[in-house]
Structure 1
Amino acid sequence: MTSPLSIEERVARIEAVLGLDPTAAPRVPWPLRRTAVLRDAAALWDVEVDDLIGITKVRELVLPRAAVVMVLRDEPPMSYSQIGRLLCRDHSTIINLERIAHRQFCDDVAFRAKVAVLRSQIVPKTECV
Structure 2
Amino acid sequence: EIVSLARCRDHPDGSFEVDAVFTPESHRGRGLSRLVVGALVEACYNEELLMYAVQHLKKFYSEFGFVSVPEGALSASVRERYLWAAGNMEGAEVIPMKRPSGRPSLLTRVDTHK
TM-score by length of 2: 0.28
Query: Whose helix fraction is larger, Structure 1's or Structure 2's?
Result: 1
Higher relative contact order (CA 8 A, sep 6+): 2
Larger radius of gyration: 1
TM-score by length of 1: 0.26
